[in-house]
Structure 1
């Protein structure tokens, strides 16, 4: 009896929920229909008429323009589709090219291609670079004009390509010379103050120096340039009124110290600058040092690569491991660079000083320094097979030694062209570099 009552109660509850949901859905349907009717009326009366009017206006204007330009379109199409228009275009192109070539000039080597259409399209304004430099000699009678001064300091291993200057000073010993025909062409306009000059297209340091009657060094020093520096159109250069150096007074400097630094005369400095006495120099004041010259820093001493081999006790070798393949050459396992068409071996990274082992029995063919390899050992294993172990920090063998498989021959380092401690391991057969990983067990 109780179960029957429970079922009746659930049935009544379900009927009540059904009636409630039906009423909700009916009300929602009436609401949505009302909204749809309202929006439809708004669209028909408020939106549709203006849109239709705009569409009709656009359609009318487009139709009128089509009728207006149709005859013109026919004429243009007829002109460009005529069979003789191609011949006329080719003839015009040939004639224009001929007229342009009549006004052309012979091009220097450095100007090759700079006047082409492609160059004008892809080149960026101001990107033409002109490198200043000195040449060993000139075919002319030299006239000495600066004693004990070098117009352009020596810079070892500098290429001076495409030198096409109207004036290039030559350096012989410690005296700068210039061609005789240019000796009398110095500017004579007297200047007593600094001048700012804006670099123009085609200017070089030598041409600017000549136009102001100055030595090349004076222009370079005043603008903190070197013979390797580039100047571009638009650059601002400081021009001194005479040859010398522009110096900014620093804390603790005296007139005597400054003149001694530039090998100049104190009275000349006082005469050219508004300095009442040698003791009245102020920090930050710019002084013109007439006749001064900047002594170039001494050339760095070339450090010869180490040629002596390590003579201390040799670390123990690798554990004896048999087999027909080569032994892993170092007590480290991380490969930092693999063999490839631009890399002739395998780089195995390891801490500096880690032992490097002979990959197999053989005779030491080379032990020492070899350019980018740094300290390295080459072992000849016979039958055309050789192995190289490069960038070592120490070498424990010498040329001609007989080494056994697993014997310690080097210590890991970073000598030569290297970015970190590792061993560069190469396998060479009959002069051909092979992938070392194919030979290692």
Structure 2
């Protein structure tokens, strides 16, 4: 090849290499610039823009949901249904706001008649738009007339052949352009029937009389007519606030507020005054007794003026405690104290501290107190079904008594056993002593009651 041609080719190659280096250097400079810009972007607005984009994507998720699940899945979402229902209610409510406008009122029936045109609206000092027409409907049924007279009333529906008296109507009154409408008296709150005053006989009376209940009578109205309180009538006739009176019933009417007492052995005027919260002088004066009231006799009926019936007192007998007794002198607990009335079971231990009750995770009750050696009693007489020591599923040394009729009692964690399987024991007999055998964290008695193999709450059968 010619020497000159080689020189030309070398020159071209040198130019190409130079251009390559220039381009590489240029792109390196551009890459460094973009790298610095990216660093600035990540340190400044980059995270904020990413957060905005993520939030916008999350907000517009329903668009992708509409594409993937279709219209049925989209409109079946709870949030979309709530929005649609709100829009429907809004669209329905807007037109209704015009129903009671002045334009609608002007089209009321009767405005377009000839009579209205001739007569006009009259000389009233209020506009026709302010007129409110109210219609008072008559009551369809008559309830017990117990307005302010309490809930105790005479039955008006008895078959007496008479139509019950309707309450008087209270007419509406129109004064000076204003309307006073008839007040609404709800059923059961009607005006009381007036009682014949000739039947009351209240002047200077000191004896008890009888009153025959008429239709429509109430306890409150009768008490008011005889000038005594409702409680006096209730006490004299052994009634309560929930009792009913009916036409034809006979009531005892006291002459004064108070009650009647029949003298029994040991009664004195002072004791009666303390019992019924009144003054002894009032009892003596009203019943014409001697000054000291010593002339009362057993069986005599006295009127206690202004007395009140004492509230019944609940009595509770504190059970006697059973002190711990050594094994050399063991005695059965008293049945009347240890067992609930009618159960026939005794408290099974000479201690009474319940450390764990019957529940879902516990099949009986745990009783402790007194320490190891405290006597364990047979809650009821029966036959020893099981009496053995060992772990026994956590019961340790335990005894099962069969009381018949499918009833068994179990006594667990004992330290010593005094009876063997097959023996017959009596109620209250000492059958073991308390211990901490088996799965136990301290001395106690685990007591169970089983009815036909099903564990029941022992506190339904025993009480300390």
Using structure 1 for the length normalisation, give the TM-score: 0.30
Larger Rg: 1 or 2?
2
